[in-house]
Amino acid sequence: MAFHKKEAFSQREQDLAAFAKAMSHPARIAILKVLAQRNECICGEIVEVLPLAQSTVSQHLKELKTAGLVKGETDGPRSCYCINWKAFEKFNTELGFLFKNLKMANEKSCC
């Protein structure tokens, strides 16, 4: 009766799923967009833009950081977040690879 048997799947599948999971909430996508709009580390205007409480935004940021999509350095009272572009590109290609595989397999779409 072990719940969440993710360990039963391949590492690659787990990684891809973890990446997708990090993007599976509109708030986190919005955060990524905000981070992208600025060309420098942003310290907290995110809270003002999003319709969420500060603690909730902080939590979402933590999840993005844990997933590796975002880098952050907390320097005392203000912290500094920006997109971890390398990880992003890695997952993008990984995703593209899956898409390509799917496409090739489904060229002769059946239904």
Site residues, DNA (CB under 7 A): 1, 3-6, 21, 24-25, 27, 43-44, 47, 52-56, 58-63, 72, 74-79
**Residue 11: in which H helix or E strand, if any?**
helix 11-22
CA distance 35 to 64: 12
Q: Is 97 in the site for a copy of itself (CB under 8 A)?
A: no
Q: Is 66 in the site for a copy of itself (CB under 8 A)?
A: no
CA angle 43, 45, 50 (to 5 degrees): 130
Residues 29-58 that bind a copy of itself (CB under 8 A): 29-30, 32-33, 36-41, 51-52
CA distance 31 to 82: 10
Q: Is 1 in the site for a copy of itself (CB under 8 A)?
A: no
Q: Which C-beta is closer to a copy of itself: that of 37 or that of 54?
A: 37
